Amino acid sequence: MITDPNIDSEASIERDPEFESRVSDILGLLGEDPQREGLLRTHYRVAKAYRFLTRGYEMEIDDVINEAVFHENYNEMVIVKDIDFYSLCEHHLLPFFGRCHIAYIPNGKIVGLSKLPRLVEMFSRRLQVQERMTQQIADALQNVLQPLGVAVVCEGKHMCMMMRGVQKQNAIATTSEMVGAFESNSKTREEFLRLINTGF
């Protein structure tokens, strides 16, 4: 169990003997010997890594935001762009990774800027599809702040397309979620897209 959602280390993750045993079983099913020297601690490392990579399940929005919502008379666009994310495709358990860009237009309340990357971390550190992750980030920010608008764009490279299947190394998936003013006002939406200057 991860006790603090803001800890960025595997050090806080407790051992999980059942998980470790299942990893050893998988190694055997792959035709490997889990007892050979190079694999002696692989079951432990893999279990710990997967717990870390899916630690978003242990996070709650209230804990991530941590009361960092402030009343402020500011109504221009707030953008945090180029937020790195790493996630696992729920279809193959292979990584997908990229950048997330978030904007909102305050309606009397703002949130600490570091909380936007924390929201991305919370939803990306789960078994995911990029489309749903994008929507979850936008919905969370909308629910917390009730702003005039929220925009989220995610750009991702998917190892399930690069290492297997179609094996296309340069394909980039782009997903977006536009709420409020970003959905209804084309000039607002275009300003956001221009300012984030998307593209790897």
Task: Please identify every residue annotated as catalytic.
Answer: 89-92, 130, 158, 160
* Six token digits for residue 198: 């998307």
Strands 173-180 and 109-111: unpaired
Closest C-alpha to 144, from 93, 109, 177, 169: 109
The answer to whether 156 and 132 have CB atoms below 8 angstroms apart is no
* Terminal CA-CA length for the chain: 35
- Partner residues linked to 153 by β-bridges: 101, 176
Token pair 């790195």 is at which residue? Answer: 84
* Six token digits for residue 110: 């703002």
Residues with Cβ < 8 Å from 106, sequence gap 6 or more?
Answer: 72, 74, 75, 76, 78, 145, 147, 148
